[in-house]
Amino acid sequence: MSENPDELYREVILDHYRSPRGRHKLNHVDVDNEGSNPSCGDEVEIQVAIEGDIVKELSVSCVGCAISVASGSMLYEVIKGKSITDVKKIARIVKALLKGEEYDATGVDLGDLDVLEGVQKFPVRIKCALLSWVTLIEALESVEEQREVKNITTE
Ligand code: ZN
C-alpha cells in the first residue's frame, strides 16, 4: 500500500481508464449483455465465453467516466478464468467495499479492486463502479436460468 491512499487510488484508476484491459471483441460468445448508468451516461457491453462453470474469456467495452471504465477494466483482469460461483462472490465483495461494509475475501485475489474502496468518498460514483459488475452478473444469471430450463425439459 502506498503511504497516501488517495494518491494510489487516483493512479490506479487513471491507469485503467487510460488503457482499459479486455476491450477486444470475442470470436465465440456464449452470452452478452449491455448496461447503462443514465445518471452519469456510462455504457457498457460485456461478452462472455463460458466453458463448464468457468468464465473462459470475456470482453468489457465501457464508455463513460473514469470510475466506470476503470472498474470494468479491473473486472476483466480479476474475473477471467474464474468460476461463476467465484465471480458472484467477488461481485458481492466489490459491492461491500464500495459501500464501506465488511467483507470476507479469504482465498480471493482481488487484484487492484481494493482501490475501489476510495469510491466511498464519492457516493454518486458507486453506480458507476458497479455498472460492469451488475451487467456481468445479469449475463451469468441468464446462462444459469437457461441451463435450469434445459434440465427441466430434458428430465
Ligand atoms: Zn460514471
Cell numbers 473514469 correspond to 66
**Position 72 pLDDT exceeds 70:** yes
Cα-to-centroid distance, 86 and ligand 1 (Å): 26
Model confidence pTM above 0.85: yes
Assign residue 62 the CATH number of its domain: 3.90.1010.10
Domain that holds residue 71: 5-154
Q: Which of 7, 4, 72, 79 is nearest to 34 (CA)?
A: 72
Cα-to-centroid distance, 107 and ligand 1 (Å): 30
Q: What is the pLDDT of residues 74-103, one digit of tens each?
A: 999 999 999 999 999 999 999 999 999 999
Cα-to-centroid distance, 98 and ligand 1 (Å): 14
Cα-to-centroid distance, 24 and ligand 1 (Å): 21
Q: CB–CB of 127/68 below 8 Å?
A: no
> Of the given ranges (10-14, 28-32, 43-47, 60-64), which has the lowest mean pLDDT?
10-14
Residue-level pLDDT at 51: 96
Residue-level pLDDT at 43: 98
Residues 6+ apart with CB under 8 A from 57: 26, 28, 48, 49, 80
Domain total for the chain? 1
Which of the four pLDDT bands, split at 50, 70 and 90, describes residue 153? confident
Residue-level pLDDT at 1: 46
Question: Whole-angstrom Cα distance, residue 109 to residue 47?
Answer: 22
Question: Whole-angstrom Cα distance, residue 73 to residue 23?
Answer: 8
Cα-to-centroid distance, 43 and ligand 1 (Å): 9
Question: Whole-angstrom Cα distance, residue 111 to residue 134?
Answer: 19
Q: CB–CB of 105/115 below 8 Å?
A: no
